Structure 1
């Protein structure tokens, strides 16, 4: 976050929205200490400037049937830009892939995937890894407990 593009009030608004984007504009304005119209204008400006990518509801995995979460490390045989881009484009389109990171050093990608059960993971592995001749090595780590899940990005000067 570029400090010259935002001030402390913007950062406090962004931080508050990361905790609960469904809070009413009036309530948010009161909490931040600004008027409701100013709050609305600032949020609109932050959204238009690209600071807010999107607003979503975070669902509980156990309520919707995604009971198995895995962290998957994988390496490709060919690491040229076109091969990395092609693999990335393919995996990010799969609904079971929640997060996709290109990493270095070590594996080429780390994925966070969620599915209903081991059969779901096996189907995912078949369509994304086994069927791709460029995938060299896959290591999956299955979650036995989620101790923390926080999509919030820490912001300096937001507290």
Structure 2
């Protein structure tokens, strides 16, 4: 775990709200000099605290109206089978998130697709045709009441 001081925490809080800020704007918001701010951000990236800086898109504006939350149970749970499943999920662009969980199913996968036909085709390709998948249980979002990426920094 990385030790964070108050300046690091302020930087992370501001970047979680708007990662598009210039270094100058960020420095002003966190009350630090631009060189200090740049050094801190670079260190936080290097240490992996800042894993990625991205734009969060609105799926409904892109014609991706179906969010599926899918529970997957594997037939064989040995480490190599779990890793193989995770690798398969990592290559699929419609898979937004993949979690290995316990107890219950082996994985929970979040999928974003255009419609039910697209989900059916994807589910057949990813799940039904795989010999190591024992059970698939899908839930479809009818309303997203909260979606946040911001984390509380203690």
TM-score by length of 2: 0.96
- Give the RMSD, CA atoms, in angstroms: 1.0
1:33 corresponds in structure 2 to 31
Alignment match, 2:97: 99
- Residue 152 of structure 2 corresponds to 154
In the alignment, structure 1 residue 15 sits paired with structure 2 residue 9: no
In structure 2, how many angstroms separate the alpha carbons of the residues matched to 1:132 and 1:11? 44
Measure, in 2, the Cα distance between the counterparts of 1:45 and 1:107.
Answer: 37
Q: CA deviation at 1:152?
A: 1.5
Measured after TM superposition, the shift of residue 36 of structure 1 is 1.4
1:106-117 matches, within 5 Å, as 106-117=104-115
Question: Structure 1 residue 154: deviation in Å?
Answer: 1.4
Q: CA deviation at 1:118?
A: 0.3
Q: How many residues align?
A: 154
Q: Displacement, 1:111? A: 0.4
Mark the runs of 5 or more structure 1 residues left unpaired by the alignment.
none
Q: Which runs of 4+ in 1 moved over 3 A?
A: none
TM-score by length of 1: 0.93
Q: How big is each residue's C-alpha offset from its partner over 1:85-112, in whole Å with a ceiling of 9 and x where there is no partner?
A: 1111111210010000000000000000
